[in-house]
């Protein structure tokens, strides 16, 4: 696809891969609806950029986000589900809280967004990009829950591809390895793994 | 491990793999705490069997179940998380309900149970057996959510194994392929896939796996072989399943539209 003049929604856009990707898309001439819980506070400006603070782990917000982006830009060509986080921990005590928080954002919200995009574009082309992780193939020590959420997405999209019958409705899944972002601070993992990528070396399935 | 006199908790025990496995364990001299939403109504009786109706998709019930089993039998040697189900559907409308129901039972409850068993057995031996599926490796057409819940479990247990540091604390994951149970009726899938296994094949494989301390248990040698050495054969299989699925859902829907 040609990125110029296309409308993209990017979640988790205030930092890391989401931020770098939004900038790269804008450079290529795209229009970007960027969202995260705090994206409006970032000093990230562009004529074709719209920023909105939203917590996409709440499904009502996804419904609202997709409707709002379509109202504002007329359509959504690509939805990039990038928001996600990890705990780096040893699971010694059963804690429903951690299970629910990470699955709600990393898995449930992404699956729901993909199906919602399809619902809105039943007979039209669309792209959905889910940022997974190398951990969806190889589970990492200390990241059991994170690996589970990403493996769930891989299982889902591998299956969901069988349910789309138009060649112009494409599900992209991205498998970054450790990337130089806030990820490891949020996960409370002081030692970053090696090798580590920069946010600008993200694979570009859309190019 | 030797199964005789060991205490097993089995979820989803009223039918299918859970039922067959409970019977096989009792035959081997084990004590079984069997649970499901309707196991008490099942005509399934044995001196070493205790049955209790519980919905393990609620985490409070998991806490209660583990406490009750320990009170009743003194300990739990092996927890077998077998309860699970599937939807066979085309996802063309966003439906939080389906996502939540299937993840709550198939994934959330299993992960929570595994960590809970570990919490109670911090410095003691235990086994946890999770019944996954071949779909945790290869996502099936019409089973996007189900495949996702099972892939999540595979991701979780492959990671969680790194967090157990005792040789006598073992996480077993079982990967049955299509099995002759109520599964396909519940999923509303009228055409069962081929090849299909019996519950006896699966329960025998699990018992053998437990006895030999195998972490990864593949009841279908054919699937394991194909998945490891002949990925192209699985692609052909998937292509066929996809066509069947497409014919049912897309052409079927179009016919309804015309009427």
**Per-residue model confidence as pLDDT tens digits over B33-76:** 999 999 999 888 999 999 999 999 999 999 999 999 999 999 99
Considering only CA atoms, which of A188, A179, A128 is closest in space to residue A16?
A: A179
Q: Which residue in chain A has the smallest CA separation from B60?
A: A96
Average pLDDT of A84-107? 95
Residue A203 has pLDDT above 70, yes or no: no
User: Which phi-psi region, left, alpha or beta, contains residue B190 (left: φ > 0; alpha: ψ -120 to 50)?
Assistant: alpha
Q: What is the DSSP letter of A139?
A: P
Tally the C-alpha atoms within 13 A of residue A54's C-alpha that lie toward its C-beta: 27
Residue B108 has pLDDT above 80, yes or no: yes
Residue B252 has pLDDT above 80, yes or no: no
- Please report which confidence band the pLDDT of residue B253 belongs to, taking 50, 70 and 90 as the band edges: low
Please tell me which of the candidates B63, B139, B153 has its beta carbon nearest to residue A159: B139
Residue B258 has pLDDT above 70, yes or no: no
For residue A100, the chain B residues in CB contact (below 8 A) are 108
SS3 B163: helix
Cis peptide before A195 (omega within 30 of 0): yes
Average pLDDT of A133-155? 96
Contact status of B107 with chain A (Cβ, < 8 Å) = yes
Counting one residue from A and one from B, how many pairs have CB atoms under 8 Å apart? Answer: 168
Average pLDDT of A109-115? 98
Q: For residue A194, with 0-12 CB atoms within 10 Å meaning exposed, 13-18 middle and 19 or more buried, which class applies?
A: exposed
For residue A188, the model assigns a pLDDT of: 83
Regarding an ipTM greater than 0.85, the answer is: yes
Tell me how close the Cα of B29 comes to any Cα of chain A, in angstroms.
Answer: 31
Contact status of B108 with chain A (Cβ, < 8 Å) = yes
* Alpha-carbon distances of A10 from A32, A114, B74, rounded to whole Å: 7, 13, 53
Strand order in the sheet with B126-131: B49-53, B31-36, B7-11, B78-81, B126-131, B169-174, B216-217
Do A4 and A27 contact (CB within 8 A), yes or no? no
For residue A207, the model assigns a pLDDT of: 42
Contact status of B112 with chain A (Cβ, < 8 Å) = yes
Q: For residue A207, with 0-12 CB atoms within 10 Å meaning exposed, 13-18 middle and 19 or more buried, which class applies?
A: exposed
Task: State the virtual CA torsion across B107, B109, B111, B116 in degrees, nearest 10.
Answer: 180
Residue A205 has pLDDT above 70, yes or no: no
Please tell me which of the candidates A92, A115, A136 has its beta carbon nearest to residue B119: A92
Do A77 and A6 contact (CB within 8 A), yes or no? yes
Q: Which residues pair with B216 in a beta bridge?
A: B173
For residue A30, the model assigns a pLDDT of: 97
For residue A182, the model assigns a pLDDT of: 85
- Please report which confidence band the pLDDT of residue B193 belongs to, taking 50, 70 and 90 as the band edges: confident
| Of the candidate ranges A43-47, A196-200, B134-138, B162-166, the one whose mean pLDDT is the lowest | A196-200
Q: What is the DSSP letter of B160?
A: H
Q: Which secondary structure element, helix H or strand E, spans residue A171, and what is its range?
A: strand A169-174
Average pLDDT of B209-236? 93
Cβ contact B115–A100 (<8 Å): no
CA dist., res. B15 & res. B142, Å (int): 23
Please tell me which of the candidates B112, B160, B163 has its beta carbon nearest to residue A94: B112
Considering only CA atoms, which of B117, B124, B185 is closest in space to residue A93?
A: B117
Residues composing chain A: 207
Please tell me which of the candidates A63, A90, A148 has its beta carbon nearest to residue B156: A148
For residue B192, the model assigns a pLDDT of: 81
Cβ contact A162–B142 (<8 Å): yes
Which has more pLDDT, A73 or A194?
A: A73
Contact status of B97 with chain A (Cβ, < 8 Å) = no
Considering only CA atoms, which of A120, A20, A112 is closest in space to residue A77?
A: A120
* Alpha-carbon distances of A50 from A47, A55, A108, A113, rounded to whole Å: 8, 16, 25, 19
CA dist., res. B126 & res. B116, Å (int): 12
- Torsion sign, CA atoms B174, B177, B181, B187: positive
Cβ contact B144–A152 (<8 Å): no
**Tokens read off for A140:** 């990492």
Residue A137 has pLDDT above 80, yes or no: yes
Q: Cα angle at A62 between A56 and A63, to 5 degrees?
A: 160
Tell me how close the Cα of B7 comes to any Cα of chain A, in angstroms.
Answer: 21
Do A87 and A145 contact (CB within 8 A), yes or no? yes
Q: Could you read off the pLDDT of A67-83 as tens digits, one per residue?
A: 999 999 999 999 999 99
Considering only CA atoms, which of A140, A42, A27, A133 is closest in space to residue A81?
A: A133
Q: Which residues pair with B78 in a beta bridge?
A: B8, B127
Which has more pLDDT, B189 or A102?
A: A102
- Please report which confidence band the pLDDT of residue A201 belongs to, taking 50, 70 and 90 as the band edges: low
Across B49-188, the runs of DSSP E, i.e. the strands, are: 49-53, 78-81, 126-131, 169-174
**Tokens read off for B242:** 């996809």
Q: What is the pTM of this model?
A: 0.94
Cis peptide before B195 (omega within 30 of 0): yes
Cβ contact B159–A153 (<8 Å): no
SS3 B36: strand
């Amino acid at each position: 696809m040609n990125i110029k003049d296309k409308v993209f929604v990017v979640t988790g856009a205030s930092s890391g891969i989401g931020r770098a990707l939004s900038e790269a898309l804008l450079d290529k001439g795209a229009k970007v609806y960027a969202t995260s819980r705090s994206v409006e506070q970032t000093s990230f400006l562009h004529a074709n950029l719209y920023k909105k603070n939203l917590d996409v782990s709440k499904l009502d917000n996804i419904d609202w986000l997709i409707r709002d982006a379509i109202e504002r830009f007329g359509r959504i060509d690509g939805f990039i589900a990038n928001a996600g986080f990890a705990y780096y921990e040893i699971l010694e005590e059963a804690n429903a809280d951690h299970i629910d928080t990470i699955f709600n954002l990393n898995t449930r919200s992404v699956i729901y967004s993909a199906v919602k995009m399809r619902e809105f574009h039943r007979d039209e082309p669309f792209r959905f990009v889910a940022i997974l992780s190398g951990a969806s193939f190889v589970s990492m020590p200390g990241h059991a829950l994170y690996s589970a959420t990403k493996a769930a997405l891989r299982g889902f999209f591998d299956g969901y591809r069988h349910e789309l019958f138009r060649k112009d409705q494409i599900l992209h899944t991205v498998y970054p390895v450790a990337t130089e972002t806030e990820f490891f601070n949020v996960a409370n993992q002081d030692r970053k793994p090696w090798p580590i990528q920069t946010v600008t070396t993200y694979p570009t399935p859309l190019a | 491990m030797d199964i005789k006199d060991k205490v097993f908790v089995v979820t989803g025990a009223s039918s299918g793999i859970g039922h067959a496995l409970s019977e096989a364990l009792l035959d081997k001299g084990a004590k079984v705490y069997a649970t499901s939403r309707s196991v008490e109504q099942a005509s399934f009786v044995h001196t070493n069997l205790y049955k209790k109706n519980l919905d393990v998709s609620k985490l409070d019930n998991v806490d209660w179940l583990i406490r009750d089993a320990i009170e009743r039998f003194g300990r739990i040697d092996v927890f077998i998380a077998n309860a699970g189900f599937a939807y066979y559907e085309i996802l063309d409308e966003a439906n939080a309900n389906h996502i939540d129901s299937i993840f709550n039972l198939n994934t959330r409850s299993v992960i929570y149970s595994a960590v809970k068993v570990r919490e109670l057995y911090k410095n003691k031996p235990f086994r946890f057996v999770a019944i996954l599926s071949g779909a945790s490796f290869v996502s099936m057409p019409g089973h996007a959510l189900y495949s996702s819940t099972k892939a999540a479990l595979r991701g979780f247990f492959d990671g969680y194994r790194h967090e157990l540091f005792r040789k006598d604390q073992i996480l077993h994951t079982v990967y049955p392929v299509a099995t002759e149970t109520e599964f396909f009726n519940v999923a509303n899938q009228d055409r069962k896939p081929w090849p299909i296994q019996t519950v006896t094949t699966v329960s025998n494989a699990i018992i053998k796996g437990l006895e030999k301390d195998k972490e990864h248990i593949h009841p279908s040698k054919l699937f394991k072989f194909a998945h490891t050495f002949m990925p192209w054969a699985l692609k052909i299989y998937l292509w066929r399943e996809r066509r069947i699925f497409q014919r049912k859902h897309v052409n079927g829907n179009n016919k309804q539209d015309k009427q």
